[in-house]
Amino acid sequence: MQERIVQVKNRFLQFQDWEDRYKELIKIGRDLHSYPEDKRDEKYKVKGCQSQVWLYPEFKDGRVYFSADSDAVLVKGIVGLLVSVYSDATPEEILATKPDFLKEVGITEHLSMNRSNGLAAMMKQMQMYAVVFKSMQKA
């Protein structure tokens, strides 16, 4: 995961202004893998987001894999960025890795209050899935 965080930092810190970082977020959303239509369900919707955001987890071989989508372009980029870092990680790694890198690359300081709340809700949902999968490993 730390390597993916370094890649995110390098990707965003090459831009000097927020507008270019904003465009990069939108690109990440466009490049996000297609979301499974059968998972576009209320139970995978992230609560607390002004936009519609779906986050579907899969747990295979001790690792969590996320699929995500949103009906808002920028939000889709934000959730895509989170997926690129937190997917293919163990539950323990997900729980131990705070999204501080978003602040370091200047993303969080430019989000509206609603989008900041949505970002927090997405992270909370990912962490909640990690807690559930971690408890399943012990069972």
The catalytic site residues sit at: 49
Amino acid at 34: S
Count, in order, helices (H) and strands (E) of the chain.
6, 2
Helix (H, G, I), strand (E, B) or coil at 53: strand
- The pair of structure tokens assigned to 26 is 């939108």
Q: Are 115 and 47 in contact (CB under 8 A)?
A: no
> Which residue in the block uniquely carries the two structure tokens 């890795």?
97
Q: CA torsion 129→71→18→111, rounded to 10°?
A: -60
The Cα 97–Cα 69 span in angstroms is 22
